[in-house]
Chain A
Amino acid sequence: MKRLGPGPTLGAVLVTLFLLAALLGPAIAPYSPTAQRFRILEHPSAAHWLGTDQNGCDLLSQVLHGARLAAGISLAVVAISLAIGTTVGAVAGYSGGLVDDALMRLCDILLAFPGILLNIALVALVRRPGIAHLIFALAVNGWVGYARVARGQALALREREFVQAARSLGAPAWRIVLRHIVPNLLGPLIVQATAGFAGVILTEATLAFLGIGQAAPYSWGALLDQGTTFLWLTQHIAIAAGLCIAIVVLGFNLLGDGLRDRLDPKSS
């Protein structure tokens, strides 16, 4: 095994810290994220390491609970997008012909739509969007990128000997796709999924910032929205929320770059 460079290692560390915070955060958070006290917009202190927000809620506890929310939402969106994208891409690439044409036209149409705009429209028009709705809105166009990569891989794999062999042994198409095509196209998809986490976290933060689709009052996007609202009074909320998002996104980007270089040495 070749060792990861300094950048990807840092990325792996940041992502691990994020996942730990998501896993353990709610257990180690000193307060409830929604418990209100009379000490509002307080600067960081020994009792409140990151200070308090405008309702007197402990910011560190909110950030830790928000980490679980961010991890949960991005994991769900990436998993759903990956599943749909892999299926569509593998089927399109392996079948070719009319099926391929139809599926790829659908991708073209979804790509003709600026992604964030579709997310905004899908979330905004619901009166009280829940977490499930948010995940749905982010996955609606999230799978297209994976489908295109999967299709490209499947097109090449279709002509490989082991696939031809399976076909001449009389294996049905679904079995060939499931047992021979899909396992072999996962590599590039995993690289893309790593960067995909960064994208979902940024988009979720953007939607929450716009005041639409806040999954919870302590989601990182919601904290960012509060922080920038009170930026003129105090800066600690905006700094905490913005740094959390930026660090996690940086971690996923670094890790994704490292994995891509590993998979495709030409690009480094």
Chain B
Amino acid sequence: MIGFMLRRLGSSLLAVGGVSVLVFLLVHVIPGDPVDNMLGEGADPRDKVALRACLDLDRPLAAQFGRFLAHIADGTLGQTCHDPLHPRTIVSLIGEAFPETATLALAAMVVALLFALPLGITAALHPGTLVDGAATALSLAGLSLPTPWLGPLLLFAFYIKWPLFPGPGDDAPALARLVLPSIMLGTHLAAMLARMTRSSLLEVVREDYVRTARAKGLQPLVVVTRHALRNALVPVITVAGIQFGSLLAGAVVTEKVFARPGLGLLLLDGIAQRDYRIVQGCTLVIALSYVLVNLLVDLAYGAVDPRIRNRASA
């Protein structure tokens, strides 16, 4: 187990290193001069010089990377450059936004599991029936709906037509404000997990130990809950965990639709003001959360299922 943990930790550190380099290089891979991109080509030369200095672009590439790492090491992630009179550290901006996004992603995960598990289990227990067909069609629909469409439709239906839930910027209890956004963000994952639950449970039900449990004369409900589900849900929960990072990233669209001041909106703000530091900071924080969540899920999975540890070492 210790060997597995060390190996997994090693590959995560490698991913963190790779992600950091990638985020640093973002500014340089993009065609055109970053300062021209930000200010426009006809900008005042003095502004250009000041911005170049603020972004460290007047130094050699190696020195820029050194400054980038130093900003990570001192925990500020650098300062904003779009408003030279009121510079703020990127970390303070992210600190305000992160809880909003994390709450939204958690709520979306709850919504996804609440829809996916009953839907997938019901379908798997009645394979080939009308119920199965309806559940399959529903999850295919969820998988095919464009998320940027779903949010506005939800708002139109449940805020304008039938005002059941508060809209963007309304003064309302936090929980009520969370309902529509978390449905918007969670639907795609719900559809994905429902399909997985169905196929995973269908596979497990064919296993010998389930037949044995049935042959012993156990109630069908007991066989499903105590014997089949326990094993069928392990891969589903794993995927749900891994997808948590994607929810953090997907929050960009949801936060735009519902005007929630989270990481996604901060990222879009940074893009609108062409402030690379904000874009790099948000990207880095989301990507690192993603790596961290993946690591935790894998470690937990390894702890629960010894086969994973052994496969990893093979």
Contact B22 A249 (CB under 8 A): no
Partner of A246, one of B26, B146, B294: B146
Q: Judge whether B98 is part of the interface by a CB distance below 8 angstroms.
A: no
In the bound complex, residues from chain A placing their C-beta under 8 Å from that of B267 are 120
Instruction: Give B287 Cβ to nearest chain A Cβ, in Å.
Output: 5
- On B, residues with C-beta under 8 Å from A are 11, 14-16, 18-19, 22, 26-27, 29-32, 34, 36-37, 40, 140-141, 143-149, 151-153, 155-156, 160, 199, 245-246, 248-250, 252-253, 256-257, 267-268, 271, 274, 276, 279, 283, 286-287, 290-291, 294
Secondary structure of the B contact surface, majority rule: helix
Contact A114 B245 (CB under 8 A): yes
What 0/1 readout, one digit per residue, does chain A (177-216) give for beta carbons within 8 Å of chain B? 0000000000000000000001000100110011010000
Contact B268 A113 (CB under 8 A): no
In the bound complex, residues from chain A placing their C-beta under 8 Å from that of B250 are 114, 116
Known: A121-B26, A121-B279, A267-B199. A112 touches B153 (CB 8 A): no
Known: A224-B149, A228-B148. A126 touches B26 (CB 8 A): no
CB contact list, A89-133 vs B, under 8 A? 105-106, 108-109, 112-118, 120-122, 124-127, 133
Chain A contact residue count (CB 8 A cutoff): 44
Contact A206 B286 (CB under 8 A): no
Complex Cα spacing A221 to B15, Å: 32
Complex Cα spacing A124 to B283, Å: 12
Known: A109-B19, A112-B290, A113-B287. A126 touches B30 (CB 8 A): yes
Which residue, of B36, B40, B245, has the highest number of chain A Cβ atoms within 10 A? Answer: B245
Nearest B residue to A119 via CB reads: B249
Complex Cα spacing A109 to B65, Å: 18
Instruction: Give A96 Cβ to nearest chain B Cβ, in Å.
Output: 14
Closest 7 CB pairs of A and B: A109-B18, A114-B249, A209-B148, A242-B149, A112-B15, A228-B152, A250-B144
Q: Judge whether A83 is part of the interface by a CB distance below 8 angstroms.
A: no
Known: A112-B19, A253-B143. 10 other contacts (CB 8 A): A106-B18, A108-B11, A117-B286, A125-B27, A125-B37, A127-B36, A127-B37, A210-B253, A246-B145, A250-B140
Known: A125-B26, A231-B152, A242-B146. A114 touches B14 (CB 8 A): no
Contact B32 A127 (CB under 8 A): yes
In the bound complex, residues from chain B placing their C-beta under 8 Å from that of A250 are 140-141, 144
In the bound complex, residues from chain B placing their C-beta under 8 Å from that of A212 are 271
Contact B144 A198 (CB under 8 A): yes
Instruction: Give B290 Cβ to nearest chain A Cβ, in Å.
Output: 5
In the bound complex, residues from chain B placing their C-beta under 8 Å from that of A155 are none
Instruction: Give A249 Cβ to nearest chain B Cβ, in Å.
Output: 4
Contact B148 A246 (CB under 8 A): no
Q: What are 14 A-B interface contacts by the 8 Å CB criterion?
A: A105-B14, A108-B18, A109-B15, A114-B286, A117-B249, A117-B286, A117-B287, A124-B279, A125-B26, A225-B148, A242-B145, A246-B144, A253-B144, A254-B140
Complex Cα spacing A241 to B149, Å: 9
In the bound complex, residues from chain A placing their C-beta under 8 Å from that of B290 are 112-114
In the bound complex, residues from chain B placing their C-beta under 8 Å from that of A238 are 149, 152-153
Which residue, of A112, A241, A242, A267, has the highest number of chain B Cβ atoms within 10 A? Answer: A112
Partner of A116, one of B40, B252, B279: B252
